[in-house]
Amino acid sequence: MKEILSGNEAIARGAYEAGVKVASAYPGTPSTEILENIIRYKEINASWAPNEKVSLEVAMGASFTGARALVAMKHVGVNVAADPLFTLSYTGVKGGLVLVTADDPEMHSSQNEQDNRNYAKFAKMPMLEPGDSRECKEFTRIAFELSEQYDSPVLLRTTTRISHSKSIVELAEPVTGLPVPALVKNAAKQVMLPSNARVRHPLVEERIKNLAAAANTMAINRMELRDPAVGIITSGVCYNYVREVFPEFSTLKLGMVYPLPIDLIRQFAATVDRLFVVEELDPFFEEQIKAQGIAVSGKEFLPLCGELTPERIRTAFATAGIVPGNQPALDENQLQSVPLPGRPPNMCPGCPHRGVFYTLNRLKAYVTGDIGCYTLGFLPPLSAMETCVCMGASIGNASGVVKVVSEEERKKVVAVIGDSTFCHSGVTGLMDMVYNNAPATVIILDNRITAMTGRQDNPASGHTLMDDPTNRLDLPQLCKALGVRHVRVINPFDLDETRSVLEEEMNRPEPSVIITDKPCILVKRAGVFQRGPLYAVNAENCTGCRACLRLGCPAIQWRPNEGAKGISYIDPALCTGCDVCRQLCKFNAIGRAK
């Protein structure tokens, strides 16, 4: 049967067909939909972990019993999982273990665009890179086979254009006859004391050498000889871009991007007149090929930053003198003659974060931010964020700032972090803040969901990935247990309360935590988010002061041609009745719609 699947859906399907028993992940764009789709297959025990490190450790445990296990994360998630990953390389596996790293060239939804192919070389493990959804499914199966054959974890690398593109996939039945998982004692292989680890390291080196030799004959490393004038070594989505723009050129498509098939590359180089590498981000292939003394061009023409596209590749080959320059398809004088306003993303109408950032802005706070929807609090008109680095960094950043600034400035320092991000890696930061008495204020925006990646459950939401009810982490109790003496739970839709509690805690010369207690408007579970009454602007009372516009609520619109100097208007299709704008209006112009 044929289906149109995204790369992520195809990896989920591939895991099912490969007989995976355990799947664990922390959501992160562009990897999130892998686990969201894996739950269609009831044979797989799938769960959200609090962070990527835990998810990998869960998968390792399953693998040690002989079960096949899959973990999925975005590229920066691998940084979090790197600690177990590097030693997993030494222990090896029993059941196949595949880690999907979903990279984000162009940073469509990320804070950096690190090239995770480097992890394969660094941690000495093989990495496969599919070029479309059909390969996503096929390579997932191959990855599990390689993992068991070579006693190694296998990295499966996608990029945003693979994860989120759809193409046609032929479905198959799952494999049968895999061993039944059970407790297996093999301490020398799995207890990485120095004496055991020293035995394992040479085996790791031998393994990667064996894989490099086998790479030369693997079917997924495919030489396609066409015009011998130009040969292009490429992988992943770039292969498809190359075939799109230069259907006549010869290609060597690498399905396994580490270790490289050096003999095959040498053979290909000898067949073509001019050799190129087309790869996104780092010159990962190029440097290794050059180190073998093979003449090749790549990054002298292709960009190091951002994703490649058919036109960027075409431009690079024009610069290299291989093809003539581009002809613009349209008259550029005509196009873009109208300057268009941009359309940045925005917090939703009724978002419980909006009033908090409005208040932080009014209090001129110095906000150390974190990763989530609330990072949008950086954008105008809220404009209340000074740092945002990685998951959990807000709290450590705030501790560092208050260590060195004046007592007056200390009172301005507020760390802002979401519930899911706090669970992921904020807890240890707060532990440090209390332990070392850094007098900053932490706001945990508890909206009961991991919102930015599309509404995933987490330890503080009270439900699992499979939608089963579970313990709901008690955030106030946890903060108290860490030693925070002042933990305040507030309604972020009440601006007076929000402001007075914030002022009080910011002035307090010790660490304190404020937890906001209103759900994300996108939570679909019954009884969590409740829409309030509709609000409307009374045109007679509206003086056009624009105070409500400082919220940046998508439901509030400025109508310049109405009233004496313009008035505000509330779109009834968007208003959720959060009541925040009403509290800002000094002229009683905003009230319940009649």
Partner 1 sequence: MSEQVTNILLVGVGGQGILLASEILSETFMLAGYDVKKSEIHGMSQRGGSVVSHVRFGQEVFSPIVPEGEGDILFGFELMETYRYLPLLKKGGAVVVNDLQIAPSSVLMGKESYPEGLAEKIRLQFPDFLLVDGQGIAREAGNPRAANTALLGAVSRRLEIPESCWMQAFEKMVPAKALDVNKKAFYLGRELKN
What is the contact surface with partner 1 in residues (CB under 8 A)? 2, 4, 29-30, 108-109, 132, 160-161, 164-168, 237, 240-241, 243-245, 309-311, 314, 328-330, 334-348, 373, 376, 379, 381, 452-454, 546, 549, 552, 554, 556-558, 560, 566
CB of 323 to partner 1, least distance (A): 14
Work out the number of other CB atoms within 10 angstroms of the CB of residue 404.
8
The Cα angle at residue 462 between residues 460 and 463, in degrees rounded to 5: 120
| Structure token pair of residue 104 | 């984000």
User: 462 or 566: whose CB is closer to partner 1?
Assistant: 566
Give the N- to C-terminal CA distance of the chain in Å, as an integer: 55
User: 348 or 482: whose CB is closer to partner 1?
Assistant: 348
User: 43 or 244: whose CB is closer to partner 1?
Assistant: 244
User: 334 or 471: whose CB is closer to partner 1?
Assistant: 334
| Structure token pair of residue 395 | 């709290």
CB of 566 to partner 1, least distance (A): 7
User: 399 or 420: whose CB is closer to partner 1?
Assistant: 420
| Structure token pair of residue 444 | 């945990």
Calpha distance 352→520 (Å, rounded): 7
Residue whose pair of structure tokens reads 């095959």 in the numeric block: 264
What residue spans of 405-451 are helical by DSSP H? 407-410, 419-421, 427-435
Calpha distance 543→545 (Å, rounded): 5
Secondary structure of 498-541 in HEC code, one letter for each residue: HHHHHHHHHHCCCCEEEEEECCCCCCCCCCCCCCCCCEEECCCC
Residue whose pair of structure tokens reads 């908090």 in the numeric block: 356
Calpha distance 579→540 (Å, rounded): 20
Bond preceding residue 381 cis, omega within 30 of 0: yes
CB of 72 to partner 1, least distance (A): 15
According to DSSP, the residues that pair with 275 across neighbouring strands are 231
Work out the number of other CB atoms within 10 angstroms of the CB of residue 247.
10
User: 247 or 483: whose CB is closer to partner 1?
Assistant: 247
CB of 75 to partner 1, least distance (A): 13
Calpha distance 423→430 (Å, rounded): 11
User: 225 or 270: whose CB is closer to partner 1?
Assistant: 225
User: 88 or 580: whose CB is closer to partner 1?
Assistant: 580
Q: Residue 98: which of 160, 159, 21, 172 has the closest Cα?
A: 21
CB of 564 to partner 1, least distance (A): 14
| Structure token pair of residue 265 | 């590359």
Q: Are 275 and 269 contacting, i.e. CB atoms less than 8 angstroms apart?
A: yes
Work out the number of other CB atoms within 10 angstroms of the CB of residue 67.
23
| Structure token pair of residue 442 | 């932490």
CB of 21 to partner 1, least distance (A): 28
Strands 249-254 and 221-224: antiparallel
| Structure token pair of residue 535 | 């609000």
CB of 557 to partner 1, least distance (A): 5
User: 240 or 583: whose CB is closer to partner 1?
Assistant: 240
CB of 52 to partner 1, least distance (A): 17
User: 61 or 303: whose CB is closer to partner 1?
Assistant: 303
CB of 541 to partner 1, least distance (A): 18
User: 85 or 233: whose CB is closer to partner 1?
Assistant: 233
Q: Residue 254: which of 157, 116, 124, 146 has the closest Cα?
A: 157
Q: How far is CA 308 from CA 280, 324, 511, in A?
A: 6, 19, 46
Buried b (16+ CB within 10 A) or exposed e, 322-348: bbeeeeeeeeeeeeeeeeeeeeeeebb
CB of 438 to partner 1, least distance (A): 31
SS3 144: helix
User: 210 or 557: whose CB is closer to partner 1?
Assistant: 557
List CB contacts of 10: < 8 A, sequence separation 6 or more: 133, 134, 136, 137, 140, 169
CB of 61 to partner 1, least distance (A): 30
CB of 332 to partner 1, least distance (A): 8
CB of 137 to partner 1, least distance (A): 15
CB of 328 to partner 1, least distance (A): 7
User: 152 or 158: whose CB is closer to partner 1?
Assistant: 158
402-408: Cβ within 8 A, 24+ apart: 402/438, 402/439, 402/440, 403/438, 407/509
User: 109 or 538: whose CB is closer to partner 1?
Assistant: 109
Work out the number of other CB atoms within 10 angstroms of the CB of residue 526.
7
